[in-house]
């Protein structure tokens, strides 16, 4: 089984077993619902503040602020922000279900979402560690981008920006190669945290050509999904939340969810179809 066969079979799996869209679709719709609540609260805050005299606020007088009106939407907005880590955990759990789903399909077993959920929850140490590592890596990369952007501005030298771009791409590729197989190994083989990362690192660099190609493909799919979201992003709701606006907003989120589900399937399918067969655990 080669790489293109894996990509074709992953797509075929989604067509044959459409119910495997359910976990990621649930997470996406939950996120969209919470996002709509946050947008509505933000619009209410803007609407209330638009009637406030800015001169009084500039002078530091809180009497000009309609506190009683502002408090409910502010509490809702703050509560939604505090709820986002919960959504992040749900997203990690649903992502971790797909290795078990793909393994069942590849080995001819009936697909059980309940069993996949159980396997994903049992691997909580792995996906939680992976989530923390992703967060720290994102902070590190954004810091590096900021440093090179400042250097480019201060030195007025485009070379700094070029070096930063090369470093940024290299870090992304190396990082994705190292963690590409973490969840498939951890969930399917039921290994510990360190062993999952160690085996992922070994397989990632052993199959570096295919892994780099898949990562580039994944990045392109994500870019397309983001571009699709920009057609009707959250800023388009600023004029007001109407029924048709909500329907269009949710439709775009569902399409994005379908695209992300394909990514979630390709990763473990490559593991069980290529890496695992060539390198038995």
Q: For all residues of the chain together, what is the average pLDDT?
A: 85
Buried b (16+ CB within 10 A) or exposed e, 201-235: bebbeebeebbbebbeebeebeeebeeeeeebeee
- pLDDT(40) > 70: yes
Q: What is the mean pLDDT of residues 155-171?
A: 84
Band (pLDDT 50/70/90 cuts) for residue 277 is low
User: Taking a C-beta distance cutoff of 8 angstroms, is the pair 268, 200 a contact?
Assistant: no
- pLDDT(230) > 70: no
Q: Among candidates 79, 87, 38, which has minimal Cα distance to 241?
A: 38
pLDDT tens for residues 107-138?
889 999 999 999 999 999 999 999 999 999 99
- pLDDT(84) > 70: yes
pLDDT of residue 65: 64
Burial of 27 by CB count in 10 Å (0-12 exposed, 13-18 middle, 19+ buried)? buried
Band (pLDDT 50/70/90 cuts) for residue 190 is very high
- pLDDT(76) > 80: yes
The domains of the chain are located at: 21-278
pLDDT tens for residues 42-69?
888 887 777 665 555 545 555 556 767 8
pLDDT of residue 160: 83
More reliable by pLDDT, 99 or 249: 99
pLDDT of residue 47: 75
Band (pLDDT 50/70/90 cuts) for residue 276 is low
Phi-psi region of 77 (alpha: psi -120 to 50; beta: other; left: phi over 0): alpha
Total-model pTM: 0.83
pLDDT tens for residues 193-208?
999 999 999 999 998 8
pLDDT of residue 115: 95
Q: What is the mean pLDDT of residues 131-150?
A: 90
pLDDT of residue 68: 77
Share of the chain above pLDDT 70, in %: 86
Q: Among candidates 258, 262, 234, 261, which has minimal Cα distance to 248?
A: 234
Band (pLDDT 50/70/90 cuts) for residue 240 is low
> Which of the residue ranges 224-233, 238-247, 250-259 has the most confident prediction, judged by mean pLDDT?
250-259
Q: From the CB of residue 58, how many other CB atoms can be counted at a distance below 10 Å?
A: 9
């Amino acid at each position: 089984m080669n790489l293109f066969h894996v990509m074709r079979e992953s797509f075929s799996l989604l067509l044959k077993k459409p119910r495997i869209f359910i976990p990621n679709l649930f997470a996406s719709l939950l996120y969209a619902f919470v996002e709509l609540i946050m947008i509505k609260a933000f619009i209410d805050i803007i609407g209330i503040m638009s009637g406030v005299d800015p001169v009084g606020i500039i002078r530091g007088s809180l009497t000009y602020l309609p506190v009683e009106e502002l408090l409910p939407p502010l509490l809702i907005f703050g509560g939604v922000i505090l709820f986002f880590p919960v959504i992040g955990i749900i997203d990690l759990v649903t992502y971790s279900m797909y290795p078990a789903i793909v393994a069942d399909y590849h080995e001819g077993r009936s697909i059980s979402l309940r069993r996949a959920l159980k396997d994903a929850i049992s691997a909580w140490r792995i996906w939680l560690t992976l989530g923390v590592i992703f967060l720290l890596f994102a902070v590190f990369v954004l810091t590096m981008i900021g440093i090179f952007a400042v250097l480019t501005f201060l030195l007025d030298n485009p070379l700094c920006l070029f070096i930063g771009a090369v470093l940024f791409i290299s870090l992304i590729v190396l990082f994705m190669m190292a963690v590409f197989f973490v969840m498939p190994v951890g969930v399917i083989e039921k290994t510990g945290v360190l062993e999952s990362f160690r085996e992922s690192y070994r397989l990632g660099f052993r199959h570096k050509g295919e892994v780099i190609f898949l990562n580039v493909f994944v990045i392109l799919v994500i870019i397309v999904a983001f571009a699709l979201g920009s057609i009707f992003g959250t800023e388009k709701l600023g004029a007001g939340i109407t029924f048709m606006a909500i329907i269009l907003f949710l439709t775009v989120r569902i399409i994005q969810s379908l695209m992300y589900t394909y990514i979630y399937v390709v990763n473990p399918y490559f593991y069980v179809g290529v890496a695992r067969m060539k390198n038995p655990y």
